[in-house]
Chain A
Amino acid sequence: MLKGEGMTKQKYDTSLVDELIEGEWPSFIADLKQLGERKPQVEQLLGQMNQSYKDLWNYWQGTVLNVDGYGGGVIARYSELSDEYPDIAQFHTIRIIPPSGWVYSTETLRELCDIWDKHGAGIIQLHGMTGDILLLGTDNKSTYEAAEDLMEHGWDLGGSGGALRTLSCCVGEARCEMACFDTIDLTTHLTNTFISQLHRPEFPYKYKFKLSGCANDCSCSMQRSDMPIIGTWRGPMQIDQEEVAKFVQENGSDYVVENVITRCPTDCIQLKDNQIIVDDDNCVRCMHCINVMHKALKPGKDRGATILLGGKRTLKIGDTMSSVLVPFIKLETEADYKKLTDLVERIWDFWGENGMDHERVGEFINRIGLAAFLEGIGLEPDPQMIKHPTTSPYIKFEELSAPKIDGEPVHDPAIRNEEVESVESV
């Protein structure tokens, strides 16, 4: 692009992306066009995007760029069309750890805007799919300068690559009556406890935590994280029968039967004489009845969380849901937190030692089996971990594997305990 006196500013063709300005939903193109008036790189970004829209082709290449002391956090891109769009020849994203629960003061947000306006293209995404603040648009030099400025102001880079990724959580006890543990505090605690693992990739592949205060799972933890921590409770749920009667009065008993009673997955709730009766031993804490009648029904008082493991999106073995690892853990005291972080470290040690390159912990468990995994991390099997016992009769019972003669196990000479490594060693 030509700059300077007497030269006309080059106009980039944005005719296709301009078609995304109209319509009732707010347009990011309109917003970026305005920003492009004072940021040439944004104008050129829209130019390149328009080219993509025209060719149905992408023009970003990935590369690696690290800030001193960090092994991740910068998503580096360079443009294949830098001749036409020189100001986005290097156009990187910096991932930043947000305040847990994504609650901000305007002071915090304005500070972030000022830093990014100074060093970058001034585009911020709130937030990326993992939960990071994404700052879009710097070249190599500005990346270093922006990172120093951000860290001087107390911010920190998010995770990328084979590392702990930036954590995210629901709003929890800050604004929700359903929350069964302090999601925001624990998210901050885990982030800060494991900050080195977040910044320096040392795992076989990525590891994500997401924390939800109840089974409604507002952080989408079940399938979007390796280790969901989901709030639950022990013992009876709280029932306010006066509020139940009020709800039945307002909505009618047919409504309650159709929308609450018949929807219970374990058939453990009944409506009798305008009162709710719950078989608490059979309640799986799914939250549906509480969601519908949330003034009358509430989670029980002895609260904590269920820890699950192994969720991920498609690559490579297909989607996996997380599965139960610890049915219940209290998360109130420092000692409770320590129990959790100890368990996490045992998992990372075992997976780190035995996992293959690019193997998520769920894929690792699929490969070696849940039973072997539990042995590896020192956790007892629990029937809550499975839907049902195995249906295959072919099982290696360790205690029963050797044939016995006169009560003593005797190995048939034809059976070897280990594979022979080479002919020479026989």
Chain B
Amino acid sequence: MSATAKKMAPRDNGAPDYKKNLHPVMVENYGKWDYHEKLRPGVLVHVSTSGEKLFTVRAGSTRTLSVDKIRLICDIADRYCQGHLRFTSRANIEFLLANESDVDPCIKAINEELGFPVGGTGHSISNVTHTQGWMHCNLPGTDAAGSVKALMDELYSDFITDNNLPARVKITASCCSINCGGQADIAINLQHHHPPVTKPEGVSICELPKVVAICPVAAIRPRQENGGSTTLEVVEEKCMYCGACHGQCPTMEIRDAETDTLSIWLGGKTASTRSGPSFMKLAVWGLPNNAPRWPEVGEAVKRILEVYRNSAKKYERMGEWVERIGWKNFFDLTGFPFTKYHIDYSESSRNTFNTSSHVRL
């Protein structure tokens, strides 16, 4: 059959029918849940007002999965979970079980057949959310899946236990300064260190007005060449090395394998619990982009976690803890240097200054 003769499949199907995918115990008790309990790290039970229970076994996954691996996951869900499972926003797999007696065999199968750990509940370090990196992004200066794997090897014991930390710790990793990884208690982000350098093939492949317009600090302007053609120039003093133009025009090369570094940001929180949502702040900068295992990043994260573990109050998230003890104490306790680069220089920088006589002496 020729391509033209073939009828097109339907368009705009929308979202798959969630009702067909819900676990039968979910269908039965939809909107009727009464309370939940944590039975042990990685295992929850939700109890309905009807008394019915649904058990959840949470496993850390690699997010990037082969179809073969997903079929193995399905085998386990068919055996113990009445054929239903869910994923969390942090790429954990939640195996959903109707019977408590299946919990142990299910955990055994997850550990042995998948090689996945069970945990990530309560006051633990859950799976790190991350971006595409060198696997599939067009802009990255570093990998994300790889650095996350290396980091989670270091933090493994805090995934499988859930009472050794004051509160949950959410970590993200981003592979360029667009920072798709998002806000987190600890975020690992890439930092560029000079303005974009135009590639030899020139800017003619790009829509110049769009490149000029996307610059947040108006540092890019068109320049007429001697031959009459138009190119772009970057005002170095204005440019803040964000790489917005690089996304718009691939020839505005912002990355540099020689100079790009990683930095660690602290105290982001999106939940409105207690103090409300907060943005993360720069803590450590200038870490080398050291593939394949980025050991300096792992060391720095562990150093922060150890101080947090010993100094924060229960339920106090990373940002709330630093807010209480003050950044002076944070830098004193962790031993990381405080530098002029930690001081905000944006228009609203005064809002970040200490405009009181409150000092810790």
**A interface with B by C-beta (< 8 Å):** 16-17, 19-20, 22-29, 31-32, 34-35, 42, 45, 48-49, 52-53, 55-62, 68-70, 75, 77, 91, 93, 97-110, 112-114, 116-117, 122-127, 129, 131, 136, 147-152, 154-156, 167-168, 170-171, 173-177, 179, 182, 184-185, 187-188, 191-192, 195-196, 199, 215-224, 230, 258-259, 263-265, 284-288, 291-292, 294-295, 313-319, 321, 356-358
Question: What's the nearest-Cβ distance from chain A to residue B334, in Å?
Answer: 24
Whether B340 sits at the interface, judged by CB under 8 Å, is no
B80 to chain A, nearest CB (A): 11
Q: Are B65 and A31 in contact (CB under 8 A)?
A: yes
Given A60-B137, A136-B136, check contact A20 B293 (CB 8 Å). yes
Best-buried of A55, A136, A167, A177 by chain B (most CB within 10 Å): A177
Known: A17-B146, A91-B136, A104-B85. A122 touches B114 (CB 8 A): no
Q: A112 — which chain B residues lie within 8 A by C-beta? A: 70
Interface residues on B, range: 35 or more
Interface residues of B in 92-132 (CB under 8 A from A): 93, 96, 114-117, 129, 131
Q: Is the CB of B182 within 8 A of A129?
A: yes
The answer to whether A291 touches B244, judged by C-beta atoms less than 8 angstroms apart, is no
Q: How far is the CA of A224 from the CA of B182 in the complex (A)?
A: 7
Q: How far is the CA of A27 from the CA of B292 in the complex (A)?
A: 13
Q: Is the CB of B87 within 8 A of A126?
A: yes
Assembled-state Cα–Cα distance A93/B131 (Å): 14
- Which A residues are in CB contact (< 8 Å) with B191? none
Interface of A is mostly: mixed
Q: Is the CB of B179 within 8 A of A27?
A: no
Closest to B8 in A: A68
Contact check, A357 vs B213: say whether CB atoms are below 8 A apart. Answer: yes
B residues with a Cβ closer than 8 A to A are 6, 8-18, 20-23, 26, 30-31, 33-36, 46, 54, 56, 60-71, 73-74, 77-78, 83-89, 91, 93, 96, 114-117, 129, 131, 134-143, 145-146, 149-150, 152-153, 156, 159, 177-183, 210, 213-216, 242, 244, 247-248, 250, 255, 257, 260, 268, 270-277, 279, 289, 291-293, 313-315, 346
Residue of B at shortest CB range from A118?
A: B67
* Main DSSP-derived SS at the B contact region: loop
Which residues of the other chain, B, contact A126 by a CB distance below 8 angstroms?
Answer: 61, 63, 65, 70, 87, 91, 93
- Measured between beta carbons, the chain A residues less than 8 angstroms from B91 are 126-127
Listed from nearest, the 10 A-B pairs whose CB atoms lie closest are A23-B153, A62-B138, A316-B216, A25-B152, A56-B257, A151-B9, A192-B14, A52-B134, A215-B272, A106-B74
Chain A residues contacting B140 (CB-CB under 8 Å) are: 58
Partner of A28, one of B74, B136, B145, B210: B145
Distance between A141 CB and nearest chain B CB, rounded to angstroms = 10
Kindly provide the distance from the CB of B12 to the nearest chain A CB, expressed in whole angstroms: 5
Chain B contacts for A99, CB-based, 8 A? 15-18, 20-21
Residues of chain B lying within 8 A (CB to CB) of residue A265: 274-276
List 13 extra interface pairs beyond A70-B11, A357-B210, A358-B210, CB under 8 A.
A20-B146, A23-B150, A53-B143, A99-B20, A106-B78, A109-B74, A109-B85, A126-B87, A127-B91, A191-B14, A220-B270, A224-B270, A357-B213
Other-chain contact of A102, B56, B88, B143, B149 (Cβ < 8 Å): B88
Pairs across A and B, CB under 8 Å, 5 listed? A98-B16, A126-B61, A171-B86, A191-B15, A285-B272
- A42 / chain B contacts, CB cutoff of 8 Å: 66
Q: Which of A70, A123, A316 has the most CB of B within 10 A?
A: A316
| CB–CB B289/A56 < 8 A | yes
Q: Given known contacts A53-B146, A177-B46, is B14 in contact with A195 (CB within 8 Å)?
A: yes
Question: Which residues of the partner chain A approach B115 to less than 8 Å between Cβ atoms?
Answer: 26
Task: Say whether, besides A26-B61, A216-B273, A313 and B36 are in contact (CB < 8 Å).
Answer: no
Contact A151 B270, CB 8 Å, known A102-B88, A103-B84, A315-B244: no
How far, in angstroms, from A101 to B16 measured CA to CA in the complex? 11
Q: Out of A117, A156, A217, A224, which one reaches B271, CB within 8 Å?
A: A217
